[in-house]
Amino acid sequence: MAVVTAIAVAGLPEVGEGDDIAQMIVASGAAFGDADIIVISHKIVSKAEGRTVALADVVAGEQALELAASTEKDPRVIEVILRETAVLVRAERNVLICRTRHGFVCANAGVDASNVGTADTLVLLPREPDSSARALRARFRELAGCTPAVLIADSFGRAWRNGQQEVALGVAGLRPLEDWRGRRDGSGRELSATWIAVADQVAGAADLARAKDSREPAVVIGGLGRYVSAEDGPGAIALLRPAAEDLFG
Amino acid sequence: MAVVTAIAVAGLPEVGEGDDIAQMIVASGAAFGDADIIVISHKIVSKAEGRTVALADVVAGEQALELAASTEKDPRVIEVILRETAVLVRAERNVLICRTRHGFVCANAGVDASNVGTADTLVLLPREPDSSARALRARFRELAGCTPAVLIADSFGRAWRNGQQEVALGVAGLRPLEDWRGRRDGSGRELSATWIAVADQVAGAADLARAKDSREPAVVIGGLGRYVSAEDGPGAIALLRPAAEDLFG
């Protein structure tokens, strides 16, 4: 009987620029092994990587000032969002829906003002989340003598449904998708539409193991060794659907 | 240290019309209690409720024949999909994106030809999945002497991201959303965008505990008692965003 488990890592200190997150998780005494997945909130990764912006240093440009008039946002916040944005998908009701330079479609290009230590500091998404995940995984290998998979997560809104769900921004050593299309089910019928977003479901499962205000930005997922690989694999970029192929968006 | 667990229910027989799914799960010897959530694939609920259609009995109407020409689908399958559809959102590349009569936006109005015992039988979504969940919960109360929450799940495609994720179609006794908007985080900052789609993340976590071809349509989720309530609550309908408010879709 396979059991999937999700356990939050307790006792992590506040993370700042230059901090060694893998070392902090190892030092916390969290138990994990090669078949486990360590899910880490992108915010601490971004903070460790210095991907923050002090609002006081930002000067809003023309487009930001225009959008500020219609969205009630601080024009400097919009300026930062636009810098992270490849395509502005929609701008309405105080929310900008953006396709980021990475290719993620999300509110405010993933720029976040919550859970930051200093007021008026914005946290951006990691520059290359798959690279961040691979670097974290390599560091676990060095420090812990085992090589868990690493997943960097953020919470995104979705089309048509209320609430946010955690998704994978970056992964290393985790198969992001499981493709059953063309395979047969128990009765011999083709599982034509079954293509499972494993990494996003792992991110969501991890989110359930912690409370948002409990400062538990890392969660260990066990029981999913079948999705964990020795090689780092394609990364979470495999989850991004090219805009031209999108039917839902 | 809170642990969230997901364990598939083993040994369930094939489900047919009129079958008592709660009784089957109890008879399987699955362990669960008041604080647990039993996640059930919608397909067995639909089959037990007789929500299936034999393709041989279907006559395609005019719109179905037209759409068949452009999508390469069997016109009778399209006819069944259209009967379940309130609004046809998009029709392209062999996929119809539909808003169902319930309000779900998904491919083919949730009509599914996989995992059905008989060839050429289509499985529809349950007529009222929240009612189905409440009925199942009441039946567990009668049979098992405890009252777990019940979640009925299906896998949906999403905008902008590859792969499918399980979502909640119906829930009873589970808080579908957790709203942190307006609350303060650890540093006193407002968690302005944090509104967690708990039920969908629970559905996704359950999906990780089984393989698609393993005939394990039920999974017990433990460790989330904080989301389980004695009353049945608002149901999964609370997850549906009114079309007029949608920014992402």
Domain ranges of chain A: 1-50+128-241, 52-125
Of B12, B75, B34, residue with least CA distance to B174: B34
- In chain B, whose CA is at the least distance from the CA of A197? B163
A205–B166 C-beta distance less than 8 A: no
Give the model confidence (pLDDT) of B83-142 as tens digits: 999 999 998 777 899 999 999 999 999 998 664 545 689 999 999 999 999 999 999 999
Give the model confidence (pLDDT) of A112-154 as tens digits: 865 444 568 999 999 999 999 999 999 999 999 999 999 999 9
- In chain B, whose CA is at the least distance from the CA of A89? B248
Q: What is the CATH number of domain B52-125?
A: 3.90.1660.10
Q: Does A72 touch chain B (CB under 8 A)?
A: no
Give the model confidence (pLDDT) of A164-214 as tens digits: 999 999 999 999 999 887 776 666 655 555 899 999 999 999 999 986 666
Q: Which chain A residues contact residue B195 at CB under 8 A?
A: 162-164
The per-residue pLDDT of chain B, averaged, comes to 91
Question: Looking at CA atoms only, how far is residue B205 from chain A in angstroms?
Answer: 5
Q: Does B181 touch chain A (CB under 8 A)?
A: no
ipTM field: 0.94
- pLDDT greater than 90 at residue B217: yes
A162–B189 C-beta distance less than 8 A: no
- What is the rounded distance in angstroms from the CA atom of residue A206 to the CA atom of residue A221? 7
Architecture in CATH of B1-45+128-244:
2-Layer Sandwich (3.30)
Question: Looking at CA atoms only, how far is residue B167 from chain A in angstroms?
Answer: 10
- By the 10 Å C-beta count (0-12 exposed, 13-18 middle, 19+ buried), B230 is classed as exposed
- What is the rounded distance in angstroms from the CA atom of residue B5 to the CA atom of residue B13? 24
- What is the rounded distance in angstroms from the CA atom of residue A39 to the CA atom of residue A151? 5
Q: Does A181 touch chain B (CB under 8 A)?
A: no
Domain A1-50+128-241 has CATH 3.40.50.10330: no
Q: Which of residues 119-138 of B touch A (CB under 8 A)?
A: 119
Give the pLDDT confidence score for residue A243 in this predicted structure. 76
Give the model confidence (pLDDT) of A57-102 as tens digits: 999 999 999 999 887 788 999 999 999 999 999 987 778 999 999 9
- pLDDT greater than 70 at residue B153: yes
Q: Is the pTM of this model over 0.90?
A: yes
- pLDDT greater than 60 at residue B28: yes
Contact indicator for B171, B233 with CB cutoff of 8 Å? yes
